[in-house]
Chain A
Amino acid sequence: MNIIIFYILAAVILIFSVLSVTSRRILRAATYLLFVLIATAGFYFLMEVNFLASVQLMLYAGGITVLIVFSILLTSNIDHKFEKSEIKKNIFSVLLVALGAGVSLSVLLNKTFNVKSNTEPVHVKKFGYALLNYGENGFVLPFEVISLLLLAAMIAAIMIAKKR
């Protein structure tokens, strides 16, 4: 059962990410991106990291996609279709990407991983304790830095986008 779901999700991710970078209508590209993000949340559910899956659904699929769609509606004409990219540039990028993918795939297929057979799901409580723990294995410093960063980004976005 797990295996079937995994291959369905993998197929959805690969097909829709290709469509999302090649589609010539921008709103469709954003919709395909939404499908990719939801399938990624499916991966997290499959790995039983339920907290991360819900964060992914809320922030990526719910927040960032809506932000992108709004900015598309503000800046582009929906009926507009991009012209095809130049063939020379296209071939060059495909070659570059194939080279990079080949190198990293050959490295990871030749490495033997020391996999541990622990199937216990992670409880949400452990996340909360780890995020606010300042002892060993605690993450309170990056947590606070991230909160400052989010505040700074919010102020910066308002400052940049406001009309003068």
Chain B
Amino acid sequence: MKKVIVACGSGVATSQTVASKVKKLLDQKGIQAQVEAVDIKSLDTFIKDCAVYIAITKPAKQYPVPVCNGIAFLTGVGMENELQKVIEALRS
């Protein structure tokens, strides 16, 4: 199964909020994926085997996978758009 990762400062709170939400939204659309909250300090390890990275912060560098905006899932602003990006990344 393809993997989505969400990173925040501890891999516990913010990232898990977003991860739970994305998982729910994907389930509703019938899309199978593993959504995992991770610690941003270990991001380089986790990014190697994921299909898409949802960032809570403004990403400072280039990553080998598509990066989506996690703030949208917290505020609700532009959420559909970001969800589409996640879905496209999972399909490709």
**Do the two chains bind?**
no
Instruction: Mark B residues whose CB is within 8 Å of A.
Output: none
Instruction: Mark A residues whose CB is within 8 Å of B.
Output: none
